[in-house]
Structure 1
């Protein structure tokens, strides 16, 4: 390892950031592949001069640079033992849009979907569309020559790259672009590295044996997804040796797919396309076998002008059943198909679209292979697309150590070879007693085929190599591409010589040496690679660490396997501009450390390798989990269901068991008892309201000075508890620690509303344990969970629905209690009875138990912000529905993500800026833009506090709105 003093010197030479601590090296040791290599350091350059400095440093110290942005590479392109250079944090600017020529210039860290959002007003888009499009960047797409669902219509990334500004291995900046034959000749005679590069490439392409081998061994021309080493075939197509050729010679096509091994890209000019036609329909053909599905593709693609042709198999579809978000997206699935083919049509004219659809259905039906052909329009098409995009990530959801392993998942063959290829592939799988996962860009002849292996076992590591080798030989026999769109990386580069032959492979090595004589750029990819079964994420046949936890992680076979569910797909890196709210702190900081992935990586590393008895007792784990706001978005939005909130809760208990609890921890954990005592002396609120005494309290408790301290209200249940004369049924209202003392007005509104609607209301007052969970008082929280389950399971209440006012409190019954309560049967029975009050009311409104006439018809405009736990564990629609139920009430959901307050998190002095930063992404701007006549609704007590402190607006609970509306 390099001397840290050398890095300290480098740190002062760049404008960006340089980190070489253990935590950052750990979280950048993996990408979305099966590999793990600890880098020397992590750099975040701010400008190309920083990149130049890093290149010269790497050259001087004989180390390498690993270019990285989204880190979603499946083949291991983003791991290495050198310096990881992450361009996503700062080098992410859209520089210039030329609407006349339909081009755009961007820095490499620009996210694909955000680029398209930016240029959409110009009716333009960048067409390559990967499943990771909401977090992958243009630089990574160029590096891998990405494709996606649209390639059958629009082509791949290589087809769209017009110019590349890059830094060469000597630190010089060059621009690669289309050259006329005369301009190419001028480049070749240059006496510098750029001239040598052009000269070497042209000389390589002048060799007959190289040309012969390219024509014989490269993928068939009709396979447009073709990342096979360096794209010499793309240069041959430009006819650089023919003097009468008028074709421009553009090295951008060659550099696309080179995986950062030849130059360091700092700017990219792209060709854009007109937005696709607005009207679309997707036909989802259901099949009883993968073979039937594959057999249908060729005829369909030949006869119809498709915009997408995608396949998912039963394994993928079954994974979607266990993911909360994707369960809602799979409503179109009928029966139990072994495969579904998704066929998209588009048109500017609705009538034309209907004709296209009918013609497509005739073709499908004439084949007599599918048993159901579901039709999707509008928003339902988007849902199906999200289901497909989540596919590979969902494989991480498979319980246990056997996973769908990425090694042969990127093969592409010509469509005429498709069915035979699948048949022969399945024979390889049967030989090894393997069940494969089929996930395909079927219209492009590309199949994401994953064997199910346990790479913790040496015998399966051997299979990993054996299966990959045999499939490589099979692909070679069809003149297919071993790497269609995911690249060669660590996992497939070893097989390139087999695919292209020794002559071409030697040409690859010579080209790499010409571009990069000191082996600076992404060493160990494409050429001179280590074996594909070295540097794996797990040590084969290791002694599995045993980690005792207080919470029950048996649903994932233990806490370590819960952490290992993260496959690195990086869904947690999407920004606030994308749908969903995972991960709020990352959205505010743009720091990889604050992603779900980084937290899982760090936990996996320390829980696996720590020599300590208490493997949680590491400051690095405290640092990486510090900004987790426990929003639970990962529980619902992460395809692998990596529940960082539960993992952080257990960590806090284990860590503080070793390091102690602070005064602040104790106050937040036992706020219920404190508030109960303060409520007996209401004059104590003067202390909290007085500027000087409140300031003193904040200093003592390390609370942010700008925060308003909540006051405690005297609460008398006799003031609100009345008897209803109507008989709509009996409910049990849970008066939690927040509602009882700081939001007692809402408790009164809840009683009045339920009684006014005709329900018989019983209640119990208690502490949900939410405060304890948030600071690691797990033993106390466990006792409370047991106690609360005992209370609500009493004979007199055992069949009553339990209604909660505060989402974070009542939803603990449906989440944490399942991990804390010993009697699982009873815990699950309680879970089934626990409802947000909005869920209960919405259900009874829908079935006519509650009538519209119960509410007056005064006109009201309402904007709703929903608590994170409701978004993750319930749904937003219930609140939307009840507030639109009264006549003339117009309520809309604000797409506001997380409020950033997160209970005690937003009060902490050290977290205040992050808390406000999260709110400023979406919540505050939307509220500040709302009319003063608009009613702001937020059902979370923390959310209401954040809104008050940040916008000086008062937000109301939904029950207060409905209480006001009662006739």
Structure 2
């Protein structure tokens, strides 16, 4: 690697065990450790890298988001990740709708760039908010809109890149190196080969066909009247999975933006077969999408916090739902078209319910559909839906019969199959449910894959419609095509890659499809002792393995949501939730270096920037709970390496606070006197750039005796208030206002002396102390709460511990009680929202004539919802806008710590701070639901954000 630097390579180079473990997998079932990971900055770096790899005969593996499902990004060579630096739009022809980009440009980001000009790139995968144009080109991706806009190959005008010879080449129509085009022409001049291609390639009516290299397309181009001038070898590069050319620039033909208004007919069926018959009818209406979601996936949505809310349209218990999107620029025309589709399905007696979704509701449906892959990780038990035969495509006219025959085949293997995705395109993603650590299921992997390939050949379908051959399907290409065509594919590989450096073992000369797996019978699932209870998942490592690598955590901040703030700030794979899950799996199990356990310094490095925001518990389709995993790791790591002063100070905050609060003038004087503040911060490890909040006196606990005197004599309802440690010491006036509001509306506010939530202890891995608090709280509140007397709390991060951590943190004898309590525990806004809807609340402070800009605490977004706060404020009479920011970056103590301050501010500067700075304070109010969020906003912008209860 030193030679790379000497040769002028400008990007980053890593050969450490951690980085290699993070790139050992993609979203497929495979695992292989690369020898190095690099991040080229541009074409010159790619050329240097390829020349050096050629000198040492090292394979080079192009990679971007790593969402590949067939193992395309996995290999033992040098990984070159283009997603960090090669992310520029090179040129945009606004008049003709043509754009030239580097391979690391994200599909949705490109469309955000193009939208003001009324253009967009049509192919739309379920991973569109993180997958890149380079990856889409390599896999010839298509997605849900292919029935309208075609595949990436259809939009490809030109590609530029580096061959394994080190030569920079460009392919476009009529533009190709003579040496390459003449060899391709000579290869395709053989009559016998052309006849074989005509007979054995997938039917031309199947527009999603990725099996092997696209020789059928090039052969058709050579037959055209233009001859060589009509040939565009870029079409051959599409779907070649980085095995022919290392892409550095891609030129695409764009489409005008689709009609403005969408409607999605969500037809419900009692059988998958009926839904496929309906797809044939739907295609007559030229829909923009026609997608299937079956019962297995629909059942998985019940366990996903985000997708549970997106099930609102489901009626009964359908075996399948067919989502048919139509569009128009006129709402009445749109309704008419949607009604015609519904009436046609009804006339054919296909389906039993046909809700039609418009506007934002249709977006929720597509969010549910896009989550399908990740949701499959939530299937209970050790068996998972395995990506091995999921990408077959047939003529849509053959689809019902093909699926019926496929299902019968799977029944013979004792399998119940997952069906989802592109019914309108003749491609249903079909997944067997297998435990690859079980000998029988491991054998079934090959048996099912082999039988599937034979069935696809019978229908002249495509082994791969959009996910590529990679490792998982390449073994079956020789049998599918026959010897003559396969030999021609081998020749194509040699023409473009004479040194066999570019992603070898994919498509051509692949190893057996059932080796180098993440899981197999030789690697039984390791069990490790943990403090948190992971029995529901089957143990800690089983919980980690819920991450299937789909990389939802790599979406940029412009895509919205919370997950994953550290990755959004650094754009480094190391700082994604996927990377943390990969590292925990590899190092805790001992796979990475043979040493099992939590003590590895690599784990400290990869988990350091996790803010424990809990965004992954909601937004990750697999519900990977990295916040609790980090807490568990901290506990285990600190048992071996000890606890720092910083950890003890922040973690035991609620034990130290009473002493400081008892002498507030002295405490606040120390915090504000420059010299003592400087020494204190240096001793603890607090950044000098961060102010420290003052202690308030009297605390909320001390105010309660007087406040309770105002309880109504005849209350309409009683509630217990959880007096959290943050409100108590820092913002008792907010607690006082909350109590006052409830009392004025006829509620009796009860309190009982209790310890703090343990939130800070949990965050710092001080789990024995946190359990002590949790056990006490659960024992106490389980005896006094009921359906009519709930527990409510002001600070989201504190009260939501009862719902999130407590059921798996408390001692075994309290677990059932903790689960029971969680059902009667509410944030303050959840409770008031419910009572408003019931008509029980009417006393409000008169609204000011200002617009509220609302920022939500991460834990509230992840474990509850911001709609409660938003709707309360709107009910009162305020105009409310949600600030489109994810995490504020403070994350409790994280933003105070000297080693984390810069990243904390960088996260806030992505959206939150710029949004607030542009407001005219005289006409706007900033409201934030978390105390740490309010402090971050004050420190970073000088604006004092309010708690929403202050406005009521």
Tell me, yes or no, if the aligned pair for 1:757 and 1:854 is still in contact at 8 Å: no
* Post-superposition offset of 1:136: 0.4
Specify the alignment match of 2:685 in structure 1. 702
Residue 789 of structure 2 corresponds to which residue in structure 1? Answer: 800
* Partner Cα separation in structure 1 for residue 470 and residue 2 of structure 2: 27
1:413-812 alignment, distance < 5 Å: 413-609=394-590, 615-684=597-666, 685-714=668-697, 715=699, 716-717=702-703, 718=705, 720-725=707-712, 727-763=715-751, 764=753, 766-795=755-784, 800-812=789-801
TM-score, length of structure 1 as denominator length: 0.95
Q: Does 1:102 align with 2:110?
A: no
Q: Is the 8 A contact 2:62 2:242 kept in 1?
A: yes
Separation (CA, whole Å) in 2 of partners of 1:77 and 1:515: 18
Partner residue in 2 for 1:22: 17
The residue that corresponds to 1:263 in the other structure is 245
Following superposition, the deviation at residue 12 of structure 1 comes to 7.1
- Contact kept, 8 Å, 2:374 with 2:548, in 1: the verdict is yes
CA RMSD of aligned residues (A): 1.6
Q: 1:570 to 1:543 in 2, by over 3 A?
A: closer
Give the secondary structure class of the aligned counterpart of 2:99. Answer: strand
Moved more, 755-764 or 675-684: 755-764
In 2, Cα distance between equivalents of 1:246 and 1:68: 32
Paired residue secondary structure (1:25)? helix
Change (3 A) 1:891 1:304: closer
1:437 is displaced (CA, Å) by 0.5
- Tell me, in whole angstroms, the C-alpha distance in 2 between the residues paired with 1:306 and 1:224: 16
**Distance between the aligned counterparts of 1:419 and 1:795, measured in 2?**
58
Question: What is the DSSP-based 3-state SS (H/G/I as helix, E as strand, rest coil) of the residue aligned with 1:885?
Answer: helix
Name the CA distance, whole Å, in 1 between partners of 2:693 and 2:649.
Answer: 13
Unpaired runs of 5+ residues, structure 1, are 1-5, 188-193, 963-967
Q: Structure 1, residues 246-294: CA drift from partner, whole Å, max 9, x if none?
A: 9621111110000000111001110000011112211111111111112
C-alpha separation in 1, matches of 2:578 and 2:657? 37
Q: 1:795 to 1:120 in 2, by over 3 A?
A: closer
Partners of 1:702 and 1:908 within 8 A in 2:
yes
Aligned to 1:532, what secondary structure does the other structure show? coil
Residue 400 of structure 1 contacts residue 561 of structure 1 at CA under 8 Å; is this kept in 2? no
Answer yes or no: is the 8 Å Cα contact 2:472–2:513 preserved in 1: yes
330, 333, 337: which is aligned to 1:356?
Answer: 337
In 2 relative to 1, CA 265–922 (structure 1 residues): closer, same or farther, beyond 3 Å? same
What do the CA deviations read for 1:426-455 (whole angstroms, capped 9, x no partner)?
Answer: 121011111111113111111101011111
SS in 1 for 2:823: helix
1:124: Cα distance to partner?
Answer: 0.7
Count the aligned residue pairs.
941
Q: Is the 8 A contact 1:412 1:480 kept in 2?
A: yes
Cα contact 2:4–2:52 (8 A) shared by 1: no
Kept in 2: contact 1:863–1:936 (CA 8 A): yes
Q: Which residue of 2 aligns with 1:960?
A: 950
**In the alignment, is the contact (CA less than 8 A) between 2:785 and 2:824 conserved in 1?**
no
CA deviation vs aligned residue, 1:561-586 (integer Å, no higher than 9, x gap) = 00010100010000101131110100
Deviation at 1:11, TM superposition (A): 7.5
Contact kept in structure 2, 1:129 and 1:150, CA below 8 Å? yes
Does residue 840 in structure 1 map to residue 835 in structure 2?
no
**C-alpha deviation, 1:721, in angstroms:** 4.0
Counterpart check, 1:232 vs 2:215? yes
- 1: distance between equivalents of 2:820 and 2:277? 48
Residue 107 of structure 2 is matched in structure 1 by: 112
Residue aligned with 1:312, SS: strand
Cα gap change, 1:106 to 1:911, in 2 (>3 Å)? same
CA distance in 2, matches of 1:9, 1:55: 10
Question: Is the 8 Å Cα contact of residues 694 and 709 (structure 1) preserved in structure 2?
Answer: no
Q: Does 1:69 align with 2:64?
A: yes
TM-score by length of 2: 0.97
Deviation digits for residues 539-591 of structure 1 (CA, Å, limit 9, x no counterpart): 32434322111110111111110001010001000010113111010000000
What is the alpha-carbon distance in structure 2 between the residues aligned to residue 378 and residue 461 of structure 1? 45
The residue that corresponds to 1:965 in the other structure is none
Deviations 1:817-842 (A, max 9, x none): 01112222210121122111111111
Equivalent of residue 379 in structure 2, options 398, 401, 412: 398
CA contact (8 A) 2:211 2:464 kept: yes
Query: Which of 857, 871, 884 is the equivalent residue of 1:881?
Result: 871
Cα 1:885/1:769, change in 2 over 3 Å: same
| Rounded Cα–Cα distance in structure 2 between residues aligned with 1:895 and 1:796 | 36
Decide whether the 8 Å contact of 1:11 with 1:17 is kept in 2: no
**Conservation of the 8 A alpha-carbon contact between 1:740 and 1:765:** no
